[in-house]
Structure 1
């Protein structure tokens, strides 16, 4: 079957022969050539002064450093014989600009050819990475020819074409995006790895927080978890659960939120009028559904809403964004177990031990939460994401 893909904008490489691209040859995971390509690209990105304007690009560059790749290889390889599946078709998300690059890297490290569709929204981070892909491909051409980064509209036949030639699809986006992409037929043995709508929350041990020596750094970490992407990332906390004594909760809230507001001002957060309207609308909607109390702040760049003694099981239906936080005071983590559905992804933690987290998970037989991370690490990419080991799932095991 033929497809009209003349409307596809190929961002990388400059020219591509799709018939040649289909003649893929899978490599073993963490092939030396791929590691060299990524480490060269990392160095190229870090040398570019413009990349420093984008913390997420810098973080991506550090992820691709030779030393980190070596650690990942030790962590994700064993003595089993594995090869990439072939061509992986990635559909990047529209809410986190740099995620397309992490998705690409996971497919590369697993030994595959990769076609990555970027969001139709234009982001400078995408342009930055594409520019350095081109630079690196000149130095390591045998890897560059295994990569295609594209952009096209929703009416294009490209989804059908790329689905028809792939052995795996990695789909980032909302549930509706995933349902729509699955309408494009893929080969019978092709697999889908889907990253659907998820949501996250934070938990703070106030007994530990009141002794925090670097509240500014903690506030910056939380800023990066939330405000950096307007709370649109699946890993961004919306609910903040407080633990500890009442006295320390009161003191901890005052210290933490003051530091957070100051950080929002320091970062010159781009707060727009429409955000203020959305937050006010969301507050009214939430106030009709549950008993809440608005906590006074200097302005609505930071909105705090305190729940009463009850934590509704559907609290996740009342998420807002751009600096809107619902707070709940709990005696223990067990009090919040009833809200944890399978769509919960991340719990950002402060002052909570690994032992307490383990007990919380096992005692309550949680069906959700795939990640427990410290503040500042909610968006930190891992080759195990949403419970998927991407190296294993994007490669195949060969038995002898």
Structure 2
């Protein structure tokens, strides 16, 4: 167990000015944007931009100010290992409600998480950031140390869990009477419709904005493209535009992700009946049937189910399906985001999903996430 940032209880007061916490959060995001290392990590830039002063004003409109302060809640956040910045959104929203927060980060967390934690620790040592020292703490420990999770669950008023279904189920069984909100496994898809009037270059760039961060492992990263009444030649032009644009962008896909794509394709084929459009379904799917566009692989399938999409673990494999109606999307309670770019007006499809956003906006955070009003919970 390692405390990266311990709680500074020497400054602890059970009433904090919301105006002061607002200013300190704004100061932190400005501090991030001034750091040279941050520029290489668009995930952190996006975080800082979301908490910029203009957006903080909008967020504050949802906070029920009552005098100069409020009773502090204790919130225990458990961060996911595969999406490096998402925990900081919930932590900072909780801080805006003047709550005291402990965050458990995974030992498997990536470079972006550790950079963000390091910069937070540095900011808390500044005169502007000192007022947040009693409100934010970061601890790292192995999930097998159940007693630590139990102790921190006993400390808190609310537990916030980010992660896979199994991980959330395991934590939920520890101190089960603890009040909690959880964000389990989800999948997301893209709906595209192209014709001769489409700006295919722009659409390809927006698609990569949604797919490249977090190596396609975020819950809102598109795992599939549904081609709505789109002729093959326009689909081919799209992939050519993707290939051209991706060569100009920084990403974190490596050779190992190609191996992961191959393993995933075989798993979906053998276990869930995934059949490529070229295949007969009677033989194992061949990776040679998949088209490669730089680090991304894509393949057209005969059918696409919610079970297949829920089992998709990212790493750059894009499954494609031709449809004639948005009603053919694989809806389920696990479908989080439908990002879209269509040629005309799009009627909201009937079926279970969390949200629908324009292409390129899939990874943008919102204070109501997965149907949970975070500010409402944190107040």
TM over 0.5: yes
Structure 2 partner of 1:184: 174
1:356 Cα deviation after fit: 0.8
Structure 1 partner of 2:286: none
Structure 2 partner of 1:372: 356
Structure 2 partner of 1:321: 314
CA distance in 2, matches of 1:154, 1:313: 29
Q: Does 1:87 align with 2:87?
A: no
Name structure 2 gaps, 5 residues minimum.
279-288
Stretch deviating more after TM superposition (298-307 or 149-158): 298-307
What secondary structure, in the 3-state scheme, does the structure 1 residue paired with 2:58 have?
Answer: helix
Give 1:231's match in structure 2, choosing from 212, 216, 232: 216
In the alignment, is the contact (CA less than 8 A) between 2:243 and 2:294 conserved in 1? no
CA distance in 2, matches of 1:299, 1:258: 8
Name structure 1 gaps, 5 residues minimum.
1-6, 396-400
CA distance in 2, matches of 1:354, 1:77: 34
Stretch deviating more after TM superposition (285-294 or 250-259): 285-294
CA distance in 2, matches of 1:351, 1:85: 46
Q: Residues 274, 296 of structure 1: CA spacing in aligned structure 2 closer, same or farther, 3 A cutoff?
A: closer
Stretch deviating more after TM superposition (315-324 or 87-96): 315-324
Kindly provide the CA deviation profile for residues 337-370 of structure 1, in whole angstroms up to 9, marking residues without a partner as x.
Answer: xx2111111111112777612xx2xxx3x2x311
What secondary structure, in the 3-state scheme, does the structure 1 residue paired with 2:168 have?
Answer: helix
Q: Residues 296, 232 of structure 1: CA spacing in aligned structure 2 closer, same or farther, 3 A cutoff?
A: closer
1:283 Cα deviation after fit: 3.0
Consecutive aligned runs of 4 or more in structure 1 exceeding 6 Å deviation:
79-82
Q: Does 1:384 align with 2:371?
A: no
1:16 Cα deviation after fit: 4.2
In the alignment, is the contact (CA less than 8 A) between 2:339 and 2:362 conserved in 1? yes
CA distance in 2, matches of 1:335, 1:200: 14
| Count of residue pairs brought into register by the alignment | 363
1:211 Cα deviation after fit: 2.4
1:164 Cα deviation after fit: 0.5
In the alignment, is the contact (CA less than 8 A) between 1:85 and 1:167 conserved in 2? no
1:268 Cα deviation after fit: 5.5
What secondary structure, in the 3-state scheme, does the structure 2 residue paired with 1:292 have?
Answer: coil
Q: Residues 314, 97 of structure 1: CA spacing in aligned structure 2 closer, same or farther, 3 A cutoff?
A: closer
Q: Does 1:342 align with 2:327?
A: no
Q: Does 1:148 align with 2:137?
A: yes
Structure 1 partner of 2:5: 12
CA distance in 1, matches of 2:193, 2:227: 6
Once the two structures are superposed, the pairs formed by residues 171-320 of structure 1 within 5 Å of their partners are 171-185=161-175, 188=177, 190-207=178-195, 210-213=196-199, 215-244=200-229, 248-267=230-249, 269-287=251-269, 289-293=273-277, 297=291, 301-308=295-302, 310-312=303-305, 314-317=307-310, 319=312
CA distance in 2, matches of 1:335, 1:228: 27
What secondary structure, in the 3-state scheme, does the structure 1 residue paired with 2:277 have?
Answer: strand
Q: Residues 44, 299 of structure 1: CA spacing in aligned structure 2 closer, same or farther, 3 A cutoff?
A: closer
Q: CA RMSD in A?
A: 2.7
Q: Residues 206, 144 of structure 1: CA spacing in aligned structure 2 closer, same or farther, 3 A cutoff?
A: same
Q: Residues 263, 349 of structure 1: CA spacing in aligned structure 2 closer, same or farther, 3 A cutoff?
A: same
What secondary structure, in the 3-state scheme, does the structure 2 residue paired with 1:218 have?
Answer: helix
1:230 Cα deviation after fit: 1.9
Once the two structures are superposed, the pairs formed by residues 112-191 of structure 1 within 5 Å of their partners are 112-137=99-124, 138-140=126-128, 141-156=130-145, 157-185=147-175, 188=177, 190-191=178-179
1:62 Cα deviation after fit: 1.1
What secondary structure, in the 3-state scheme, does the structure 2 residue paired with 1:322 have?
Answer: coil
Q: Residues 327, 143 of structure 1: CA spacing in aligned structure 2 closer, same or farther, 3 A cutoff?
A: same
In the alignment, is the contact (CA less than 8 A) between 1:85 and 1:168 conserved in 2? no
Stretch deviating more after TM superposition (215-224 or 60-69): 215-224
CA distance in 1, matches of 2:276, 2:246: 24
Structure 2 partner of 1:398: none
In the alignment, is the contact (CA less than 8 A) between 2:339 and 2:357 conserved in 1? yes
CA distance in 2, matches of 1:320, 1:168: 29
Q: TM-score if structure 1 supplies the norm length?
A: 0.82
Q: Does 1:35 align with 2:22?
A: yes
Q: TM-score if structure 2 supplies the norm length?
A: 0.86
1:285 Cα deviation after fit: 4.3
